[in-house]
């Protein structure tokens, strides 16, 4: 889908510097430009070889993610678990579900205090004995730095059929600074798109070309000058007992863009969902929020 779309954290230093300079992140761009040729020859983030950023304090510079899950409940404080340690709900096999965007937090995106964000959400749909159809749906949000998009329960896929092996999701966010693209993407804020992709009532032959159009739009916008892909993650949710996989169940899934150095020590027990404030907060200090960019999407049963 997006093999040729590289998020900022995985770009080669020179390309990242160019993108950052285009959107006014001059200090970060200058620091990247100052990286010695010897370090550049040693490899890049995208190559999987060693490269150390000359700064370590910008949430948009990372590619690792931590995946959590909040189970349904009515308590004021709900615990968060690693999405691979929950119990799969096998009663969801063959059942239509509703997938919603419940949080889009912009702790720090590059370039300015207000961000226009193209949000692409992918799912693999399997209906009965039919071949799997890749689904894409786009949304467009305007979010101030350090805040969340003004959305909760935003429909993405309505009536998505769960296959015997579960589902696969992927999310890509693009920070849009190109003025022409901002105007173009305004149509995604219309009521038609705010109702999500309604699969139960959509004519099946329409799905594939619509998804291809959505993918093409995302790729075009992501490549244009002054636009920067920021967050990209993939989640395969199944019903197996394989230890390091994630499970499918009702509830809220959280994908947090974290520094690589925290990936091995991230502990979801240090965070809870406060149902009264609607925020993910620190257990030790409920005034402290997760200091990183994250996406929360909800999975629940759907009935016509």
**Segment 114-147, tens digit of pLDDT:** 999 999 999 986 544 554 567 888 999 999 999 9
Give SS3 for 264. coil
157 is a domain residue: yes
Give SS3 for 93. coil
Q: How confident is the model at residue 47 (pLDDT cuts 50, 70, 90)?
A: very low
**Segment 97-107, tens digit of pLDDT:** 999 999 999 99
23 is a domain residue: no
Question: How many other CB atoms are found less than 10 A from the CB of residue 229?
Answer: 26
Residue 17: pLDDT above 70? yes
User: Which among 294, 147, 298, 152 is positioned nearest to 231, based on CA atoms?
Assistant: 294
Handedness of CA 258, 262, 264, 270 (dihedral sign): negative
1 is a domain residue: no
The predicted model scores a pTM of 0.89
46 is a domain residue: no
Residue 23: pLDDT above 60? yes
10 is a domain residue: no
Round to whole Å and give the CA distance between 127 and 163.
7
172 is a domain residue: yes
Angle at 112 between CA 4 and CA 108, to 5 degrees: 70
User: Going along the chain, which residue ranges are E strands?
Assistant: 64-70, 77-79, 81-82, 96-106, 114-125, 133-144, 147-148, 154-161, 167-176, 197-198, 227-238, 246-247, 251-258, 271-274, 279-282, 294-301
**In this predicted structure, what is the pLDDT of residue 256?**
97
Q: Retrieve residue 231's tokens.
A: 């967050």
Split into its structural domains, the chain has a count of: 1
**Segment 191-231, tens digit of pLDDT:** 666 667 777 555 455 677 778 888 888 989 999 889 999 99
**Segment 252-290, tens digit of pLDDT:** 999 999 998 888 889 999 999 999 999 999 999 999 999
28 is a domain residue: no
Question: How many other CB atoms are found less than 10 A from the CB of residue 132?
Answer: 14
> Could you list the residue range(s) of the whole structural domain that residue 87 is in?
59-301
11 is a domain residue: no
């Amino acid at each position: 889908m997006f093999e040729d779309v590289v998020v900022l954290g995985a770009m080669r230093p020179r390309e990242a510097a160019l993108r950052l300079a285009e959107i006014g992140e001059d200090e970060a761009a200058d620091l990247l430009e100052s990286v010695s040729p010897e370090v550049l020859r040693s490899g890049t983030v995208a190559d999987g070889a060693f490269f150390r950023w000359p700064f370590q304090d910008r949430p948009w510079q990372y590619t690792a993610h931590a995946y959590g899950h909040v189970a349904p409940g009515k308590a004021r404080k709900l615990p968060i678990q690693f999405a691979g340690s929950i119990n799969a709900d096998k009663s969801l096999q063959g059942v239509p579900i509703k997938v919603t965007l419940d949080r889009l937090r912009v702790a720090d995106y590059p370039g300015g205090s207000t961000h226009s964000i193209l949000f692409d959400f992918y799912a693999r749909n399997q209906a009965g004995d039919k071949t799997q159809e890749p689904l894409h749906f786009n949304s467009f949000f305007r979010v101030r730095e350090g805040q969340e998009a003004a959305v909760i329960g935003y429909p993405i896929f309505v009536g998505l059929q769960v296959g015997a092996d579960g589902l696969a999701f992927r999310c890509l966010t693009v920070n849009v600074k190109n003025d022409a693209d901002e105007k173009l993407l305004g149509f995604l804020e219309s009521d038609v798109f705010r109702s999500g992709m309604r699969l139960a009532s959509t004519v099946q032959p329409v799905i594939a070309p619509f998804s291809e159009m959505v993918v093409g739009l995302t790729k075009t916008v992501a490549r244009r000058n002054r636009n920067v892909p920021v967050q990209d993650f993939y989640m395969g949710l199944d019903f197996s007992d394989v230890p390091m996989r994630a499970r499918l169940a009702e509830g809220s899934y959280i994908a947090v863009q974290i520094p690589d150095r925290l990936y091995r020590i991230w502990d979801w027990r240090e965070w809870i969902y406060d149902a009264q404030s609607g925020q993910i907060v620190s257990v030790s200090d409920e005034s402290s929020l997760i200091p990183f960019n994250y996406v929360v999407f909800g999975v629940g049963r759907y009935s016509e």
